[in-house]
Every structure is written in C-alpha cells, then in structure tokens.
Amino acid sequence: MTADRSQLASLIKDNAVFFGDFTLTSGVTATYYIDLRRVSLDHRIAPLIGDVMVDLIADIPDIAAVGGLTMGADPIASAVLHRGVLKGKRYDAFVVRKEPKDHGRGKQVEGPDLEGKRVIVLEDTSTTGGSPLAAAAALEKAGAIVVAVAVVVDRNTGAKEVIEAAGYEYRSAISLSDLGLQS
C-alpha cells in the first residue's frame, strides 16, 4: 500500500467509520457505516482522495472524464479533476442524476459532451454495485464508453463481482481490511 493510501485509510477509519445498527441503501443491515462524505467534503482530506484515485486510474488510457451517480460520486469526481491537473491528467468531471431532469434540456448526465469518449464511473463506497451500474447505463445511453468503475472504499459485499459480470473493470482504493473491518 502506498503512503497516500495508508494515510487515507487511517483518515477514513478515524473520521468516517461509525459503529451501531445501520440499514444500507441495499436494505441490508450492518454494524458499521462508512460515511465517506465526512472526508470527501473535508478540505484537508479531499485532495488526498483525489491523489489516491488519480493514482488508481492513471494507467487506464485515453480517459476523458470521471464521475458517477449523484451524490456520493460528486466530491470524488471533483477531487480527481483538480488533483489530476497537478499530475498532468486532463480529466473532466460529470454528474449523473438519478433521473433525467423534467425541465430545461431534460438531461440525466451533466457536464461536458461525452459522446464517443472513454469515461470512468466513480463511487465513494460500493455495496451492491447498483449505483455505478445505474450511472454506467445512463452514460452509455448518452453515448459514452464506460471502461471502468473505481471506488474509494469497497465494502466487500459483492459489488466487484456484479460490476465485473456486467463487463466493466473494477478497481478499489481501500478495502475493509485496510480499515480494520470485516465484511
């Protein structure tokens, strides 16, 4: 594990892991909750998330943009956009709405034109893989070429397998064991 990933895991563990009884988006109950917005929206930690995620995807060629389903992916995409510039990358960012707007241009994918462009779907934490797959479907409908899904924290609850079965490469920066947690 790189020094940046180790530092990020420590910051997540100290600031974004909560213990108790929680119901996850999937409906599954858990004894801990990883609230990544506690760190992804923190001015001290967001740049580190950007650095770790840029390093995670840096070897994937010709990526035009990164983003995912709002709201979890939004600060991650912004961090990658900004930190990528410092590392010589030209990643734009996009936001995928849960549903197309019912006014204006009626768009579901906001940001630059992605038709024919290679993109990576980002996610803060992944449990079932449903959010990244929903984002991928909307992106493909908009003409983008989804080449991978990259998550900050993988809860090790089957998302990787679901996403790979759908035909996308799956990458994660931090595992449960990195946080001292069990699945």
The first and second tokens of residue 101, run together, are 């707007």
| Residue of 42, 33, 57 whose CA lies nearest to 8 | 42
Q: What are phi and psi of 81, to 5 degrees?
A: -55, -50
The first and second tokens of residue 102, run together, are 């019912």
The C-alpha atoms of residue 122 and residue 135 are separated, in whole angstroms, by 9
What is the per-residue pLDDT for 26? 77
What is the per-residue pLDDT for 182? 78
What is the per-residue pLDDT for 105? 63
The first and second tokens of residue 1, run together, are 């594990």
The pLDDT tens digits for 94-120 are 999 987 666 666 688 999 999 999 999
- List the domain boundaries for the chain: 3-179
Strand 109-110 with 92-96, pairing:
antiparallel
Task: Answer for the pair 34, 155: CB distance below 8 angstroms, yes or no.
Answer: yes
The first and second tokens of residue 104, run together, are 């204006």
From first to last of its 183 residues, what are the pLDDT tens digits of the chain? 899 999 999 999 999 999 999 998 778 888 999 999 999 999 999 999 999 999 999 999 999 999 999 999 999 999 999 999 999 999 999 999 987 666 666 688 999 999 999 999 999 998 889 999 999 999 999 999 999 999 999 999 899 999 999 999 999 999 999 999 976
pTM of the model: 0.94
For domain 3-179, is the CATH number 1.10.260.40? no
What is the per-residue pLDDT for 1? 80
